[in-house]
Amino acid sequence: MKKTIVILAALLITAGLQAKEKKQRTSGNPILPEFHADPEVLYSHQTGRFYIYSTTDGAPGWGGYYFTVFSSKDLTNWRHEGIMLDLGTSQVAWATGNAWAPCIEEKRQPDGSYKYYFYFSGHDKARDRKSIGVAVSDSPTGPFVDLGRPLVDERPEGVRGGQQIDVDVFTDPQTGKSYLYWGNGYMAGAELADDMVSLVPGTTRVLTPRGGSLRDYQFREGAYVFYRGGKYYFLWSVDDTGSPNYHVAYGTSDSPLGPITVADDPIVLIQDPDKEIYGPAHNSVLQVPGRDEWYIVYHRINKDYLLPEPHGPGFHRQVCIDRMEFNADGTIRRVRPTHEGVRPVKVKKSKK
């Protein structure tokens, strides 16, 4: 009898420890294997899964030439779904190499089906410069079919420097209209036509936030837009991607095409040297469907590959995720970057 009691007690203790471990289980940071950067996160209403698309990092000179996709049902366990667009093949005839900073939008069609519009940067062979393309699929993992030509291949009127990279796509929940944002050294935005593969003529705006410094909000690249509580939030990256100081700042607007008012406390996410966390920026943002629950997905520099040489200026980056929260007045609380990451997130699948 005593033996039985002891065994039962041991089983209960073991079960309790297992339950505790399960309760405390987190994604850990980084969340993807190897080197990836410029992450775009998507929740698919068609599949009920989360997806991350990114720059494939680790190649000298940011020389990655293909995009991969990872999926997860809970934001903590990620599955490699393979290469979904390859700029090193005839799949994207106009571009070669420098496959950078993608974004994606899921659009439900009138017949109830879904299409996925994947926007990306690539090196335009004909013009010998960076341009933005778009590819389309019926599935978040592909296969994707490229438009066959760049969607954006020149700077907006009046802009003298900077590259056509770091694209973002946003659909306004108030109007259903979609917008494209891009730029390195400047921020531009334009309304997308209903076909999602062309811009509405005459809608391009230069939105670059003015002022600031490398200590706070001076614009560099990586615009990201979302809507919450009647405001349009614009996030962007500050400083060089190879700098430990690379960080995220933000402002708000009453319109998806600005003007942008920089926040009084503009820093969203910045390095924490005490934790050996450096260069956390170039982000996307996820709202859990149906809930006021938000996450920021970003990259940071692997601590073993900081400048100076010979490790190279910032192409050993890794994708991470942390909670993002708001104050009662709608301002963003500064995100605390962690090594733990986030707890599992469950979403009840529903049709959008």
CB 150 within 8 A of CB 94: yes
Helix (H) or strand (E) holding 18: helix 2-24
Catalytic residue, from 38, 57, 81, 191: name it: 38
Burial of residue 250, with CB atoms counted within 10 A of its CB: 0-12 exposed, 13-18 middle, 19 or more buried: buried
Bridge partners, 51 (sequence order): 42, 71
Chain-centroid distance of CA 236 in Å reads 11
Instruction: Give CA–CA dist 137/96, Å, rounded.
Output: 21
**What is the maximum alpha-carbon separation in the chain?**
87
Bridge partners, 184 (sequence order): 163
Catalytic residue, from 81, 105, 221, 322: name it: 221
Catalytic: 38? Answer: yes
Catalytic: 221? Answer: yes
Q: Structure tokens of 252?
A: 């708000």
Instruction: Give CA–CA dist 50/41, Å, rounded.
Output: 7
Cβ neighbours of residue 202 under 8 Å, at least 6 residues apart?
none
Nearest to 102 by CA among 138, 142, 47: 142
Question: N- to C-terminal Cα distance for the chain?
Answer: 58
Residues forming the active site: 38, 221
